[in-house]
Amino acid sequence: MDHMLQDPTFWVATAFAAFIGVLVYLKVPGLIAGALDERADKIKADIEEAEKLREEAQKLLADYQKKQRDAQKEADKIVTAAKEEAERMAKQGEQRLKDSLARREKQATDRLAQAEAAALDQIKAHTVEVAMAATRQVLADSIKGKKADQLIDDAIGALPGKLH
């Protein structure tokens, strides 16, 4: 036994057994297990919280994506409506221009016709005046006396009715 007391392995084994005994006596394994259980529960709660946050983030992402799609559809509708309105306004403008040009052309044609009629009336009036003057001159030069006066008066009276 003396030999055993001098062996360092014996003392290490005895110290180890005493240390384990003290730990068991002080209920350290239970405290360690409790601390580990608390740590595991906290980690589990953190994981559950992280999963909830992830699910909420996915829901928010889905909502924003839906809103973005809806906004894009609305923007497409607005652009389409604006294009249709622009086309309609262009057609209306084109039709108004055509109508305006037609009115102006008709006005120009009417003015031209009026000017032509006025010119023809002036030419007729001038022709009548020239013809009457020429007739007066011819008759005055060729016929003399009372008969000439009578013929001239009759011709002058009948001339305007024949020329119009």
Q: Is residue 54 part of a domain?
A: yes
Q: Is residue 8 part of a domain?
A: no
Q: Is residue 31 part of a domain?
A: no
Helix, strand and coil in the chain, % to nearest 5: 95, 0, 5
pLDDT-derived band of residue 144, with 50, 70 and 90 as boundaries? Answer: low
What pLDDT, on the 0 to 100 scale, is given for residue 46? Answer: 92
Length of the chain: 164
When divided into structural domains, the chain yields a total of 1
Q: Is residue 12 part of a domain?
A: no
Q: Is residue 32 part of a domain?
A: no
Dist CA 158 CA 150 (whole Å)? 12
Q: Is residue 23 part of a domain?
A: no
Question: For 53-110, what is each residue's pLDDT tens digit?
Answer: 999 999 999 999 999 999 999 999 999 999 999 999 999 999 999 999 999 999 999 9
